[in-house]
Structure 1
Amino acid sequence: MTNQSTLVAPGVDTAKHEYRTQRAKKAAIAGFLGGALEYYDFFVYATAASLVFSHIFFPAGNPTVALIASFATFGVAYIARPFGALLFGHLGDKIGRKNTLVMTLVLMGGATFLIGLLPDFNTVGYWAPVLLVVMRLLQGLSAGGETAGAAALAMEESPVGRRAFFPSFTMSGISAGIVLASLVFLPVAAMNEADRLAWGWRIPFLLSAVVLVVAFVVRRSLEEPEVFTEAAEQLEKNVQHEKPKMPFMQMFSTHPAQFFQVAMMSFETVTNIFMQAFGLAFAVSVGIPAQTMLIISIVGNVIAIGSQPLMALFADRYGRRRIFIAGVLGSGTLIWVYFWAISTAQIGLIFVVSTLITAGTYSMSNAIYPAWFAELFNVRVRYTGMAIGLQVGILAAGFTPLLATALVGDDPSNWGPAAWIVAGSSVIAVVGALWARETYRTPINELGNPMENELRTNA
């Protein structure tokens, strides 16, 4: 068995290794930019849902009810994400990673830009929230296929011993997207309320077009991973009938355990969703300025841009499972301190704990999952398996801010339910990690379950 912890394994041609490294770098850059766009869009929406949408897209009334409705529009994207995973996973495993990822990129960027042009409730009445939901659903469809595809492509392009490192730049791109969104929203949050609600909130959405253009140019220049093209060619030679039309059926029949493992481990994302959406709204409700929380988020995510590749290097050297579990347990523990600090308005403690989670414990698990989840599946169903498994788990996570808002209500001292939701999600993720196979030393052609028997069955 090939030792994946070394930079260049014995017997590997140096020139070929360098060629693969260059391709991996290009895939990592594309993943970084795609992740930046996806989470720029995600965090701009989460911030607007926390600070703006409850005032302009819904009728006047109880502010808590309006905020719950605003978070509901945030959550509907998570209903669409599994369908996006199904659609783009199918395309990614059938026609290839590159073209599919271009489609997800354009859909996400286009929907975000259009949100910035939507009329408000005073202009078109209930059509305003309807149109907002439609755009949010399109964002969800795109997100359902983006991270899985970028991770699968980067992992498949990575050289020996760096299969976690290069895909981790997709997660660093996500941190960069959060930083960009926070920086753009800082002057918006500092505006007087009238200007912010009238036109200021639209600026961050319209600026997404800049990230979209840059990411599109880079992604169009990618090539298909060799392991994918080789598998496609082999399938053409060995199977004398039409290619299977539904890769997700193949995935469920050949990798059922891996699907549930990924779904369970994806609950680690609840921590980030809570901090970026519910945490901001909760802090504002206790009198902490939104600008303060945005600055805290910026600092943590700037550090995370560098800390996540570092955590991935550790995973390439010491394995996926132990670092993932340590990170999830750390986040599930520190979240109690985080919410207590917010409820008591201790700004210094909020800053320290938020940074420890964002750039520390959450980075430990978040940097590893792009490679580990992809490695659990055979190349022929990798995009589908990772995308659907990831999004089924994230679907539950998307509605947790709404649930927490309903449970906590307007009592700042009643933050316990929010912390329990994060802690419970962490336990689910740990169970999935304990169940999953350790893959960091497994050669790329041996990843996932064999599918030769399935081929003969369909032939």
Structure 2
Amino acid sequence: MSDRTPTPASSPAPTSADARRVAVGAFVGTALEWYDFFLYGTAASLVFNRLFFATDDAVVATLAAFASFAVGFVARPLGGVIFGHLGDRIGRRACLLITVVMIGAVTGLIGVLPGFADIGVAAPVLLTLLRLLQGVAVGGEWGGAITLAVEHAPPEKRGRYAAMPQIGSPVGTLLSSGAFLLVALLPPEDFDAWGWRIPFLVAFPLLGVALWLRRRVEESPLFDRLLAEDARASAPVRDVVVRAWPGLLVGAGSALLGVGGFYLATTFVISYATGDLDLPRPLVLGATLVAAVVEIGVLVLGGRLAERFGAARVTVAGGIASALVALPMFWLLDARNGVAVVLGVTLGVAMLSIPYAVSGDLLARLFPARLRYSGIALAANLAGIVSGFVPLVATAVLAAAGGRSWAPGLLLVGIALVTVVSGLLAPRLYVPDAEMTTEGVAAPRAGA
């Protein structure tokens, strides 16, 4: 904890060491959170459809598993509302401690949940309930991590520090896919009986690590000043919806590709490649691992590009690039060649990671400090609502198109174009630069 005591007259600007410590803490905590959340997506493709949603129709079982996957995204706005309000009222740091405990505990409990053969219909019901709680926690996590990282960052380095929590996404993918890749090497009967549970149970010790790291993170100096000047919004969520709704919609659209496109290129692709194309599970999971490694580099580069060209321009460029490679990604998958599969998944994930790299920087600029946690959380989670249904919709359009991959490919093109338009509109809605520093935080005007 910091020994700084903010005053209405001044609030000490964070040092570069402060910014790095907070950014690393946000990255590590976010990586562990996304590890937990991504496990469910992988398991929905490989095991939940068979062990928790019992039906003789494989397509129906997969749809049911993806529907439970989508529940987590539906719950995320609730988490955004709850933790956005608390984050703008009691502080960013406290909320991040709560969310990391919630998601770690819930994920570990999934690892001990009996299947349909043991407890019948209670199995999918309990699984879906745990997924809902997981979604609530994640709904409040990302917005807080981004807010804390951005508000500690020096203005000239805001792009790179805002990208740090984003790097938690591919690292979470590496950890979750890597864990499932290892247990997928088990004999099928062992994998179904107990092997799939191991990655979920690992969440318990990881929770201890994440909690220790989060306790070392200091509160935002901007929030310290808001607190000292009593300049906090009394109802930040309401103010975002009523007064900042253009930024809310544009922010959600700008984030759609990085979230929804990602789940199409990973969760849906795992199901499509292992099911429709009958490709080996280790190959497909290995492709997501290669893509995640490449994504880390893209995110680092994207943060630096945002500092030079601006987050909005980088968002537009990444959206156009994703639209151009959407169909070629599926053509490479359909070749059923190992190298082509890895290349296709990597290419798709790399392009959509360009706007994802700058999403935190862009969203932070759309909302003033007194509404920032709520604004970022709500915008990201609006995108998350749509994103959670992307694998479900992609499965449905694939079936409607007779199994031809151009259908999910065009779905990805549409998602990318939404992000392009949002990136073009975003600069018109940016808050003044002063709102991004402690010097610009002041009590709102009467009636604001």
- Specify if TM > 0.5: yes
Q: Distance in 2 between matches of 1:342 and 1:132?
A: 31
- Shift of the 235–361 alpha-carbon distance from structure 1 to 2, 3 Å rule, reads same
User: Would you say the 8 A contact 2:233–2:370 is kept in 1?
Assistant: no
The Cα offsets for residues 3-56 of structure 1, whole Å up to 9 and x where unpaired, read as: xxxxxxxxxxxxx99952111111111211122122212221111100101111
- RMSD of Structure 2 on Structure 1 (CA): 2.3
The answer to whether the aligner puts 1:60 opposite 2:58 as a matched pair is no
Instruction: State which of 253, 259, 262 in structure 1 corresponds to 2:242.
Output: 253
Q: Distance in 2 between matches of 1:43 and 1:451?
A: 37
Q: Distance in 2 between matches of 1:441 and 1:86?
A: 21
User: Would you say the 8 A contact 1:112–1:139 is kept in 2?
Assistant: yes
Q: Which residue of 2 aligns with 1:445?
A: 435
Q: What percent of counterpart residues are identical?
A: 33
5 Å matches for 1:284-295?
284-285=274-275, 286-295=277-286
User: Would you say the 8 A contact 1:184–1:204 is kept in 2?
Assistant: yes
How far is 1:104 from its partner? Answer: 0.9
The Cα offsets for residues 111-138 of structure 1, whole Å up to 9 and x where unpaired, read as: 1110001010011100000000010001
Give the paired residue count.
Answer: 434
Instruction: State which of 302, 311, 319 in structure 2 corresponds to 1:320.
Output: 311
The one-letter amino acid of 1:271's match is G
Q: Which residue of 2 aligns with 1:415?
A: 405
Q: Distance in 1 between matches of 2:446 and 2:93?
A: 29
Q: Distance in 2 between matches of 1:456 and 1:108?
A: 39
Which segments of 5 or more consecutive residues in structure 1 lack a partner in the other structure? 1-15, 237-242
User: Would you say the 8 A contact 1:43–1:276 is kept in 2?
Assistant: no
Q: Which residue of 1 aligns with 2:328?
A: 337
Instruction: State which of 91, 94, 117 in structure 1 corresponds to 2:89.
Output: 94
Instruction: State which of 165, 174, 179 in structure 2 corresponds to 1:179.
Output: 174
Q: Which residue of 2 aligns with 1:424?
A: 414
How far is 1:150 from its partner? Answer: 0.2
Q: Distance in 1 between matches of 2:369 and 2:238?
A: 15
The Cα offsets for residues 318-373 of structure 1, whole Å up to 9 and x where unpaired, read as: 21112111111211221211112222313222222322333x32221111001110
The answer to whether the aligner puts 1:170 opposite 2:165 as a matched pair is yes
The Cα offsets for residues 131-150 of structure 1, whole Å up to 9 and x where unpaired, read as: 00010001100111111110
Q: Distance in 1 between matches of 2:20 and 2:306?
A: 18
How far is 1:168 from its partner? Answer: 0.7
Partner SS for 1:164: helix
Q: Distance in 1 between matches of 2:255 and 2:144?
A: 16
The answer to whether the aligner puts 1:305 opposite 2:300 as a matched pair is no
- Shift of the 63–17 alpha-carbon distance from structure 1 to 2, 3 Å rule, reads same
Partner SS for 2:151: helix
Q: Distance in 1 between matches of 2:171 and 2:434?
A: 29
Answer with 68-77 or 308-317: which moved more: 308-317
The Cα offsets for residues 391-422 of structure 1, whole Å up to 9 and x where unpaired, read as: 11220111111111122139874112211211
- Shift of the 19–400 alpha-carbon distance from structure 1 to 2, 3 Å rule, reads closer
Q: Distance in 1 between matches of 2:441 and 2:165?
A: 29
Q: Which residue of 2 aligns with 1:12?
A: none
TM, length-normalised to structure 2: 0.92
How far is 1:108 from its partner? Answer: 0.9
The Cα offsets for residues 206-250 of structure 1, whole Å up to 9 and x where unpaired, read as: 0122322212111111111111111222226xxxxxx65421112
- Shift of the 270–75 alpha-carbon distance from structure 1 to 2, 3 Å rule, reads same
Q: Distance in 2 between matches of 1:115 and 1:57?
A: 12
Partner SS for 1:59: coil
The answer to whether the aligner puts 1:192 opposite 2:181 as a matched pair is no
Q: Which residue of 2 aligns with 1:266?
A: 255
Q: Distance in 2 between matches of 1:267 and 1:175?
A: 17
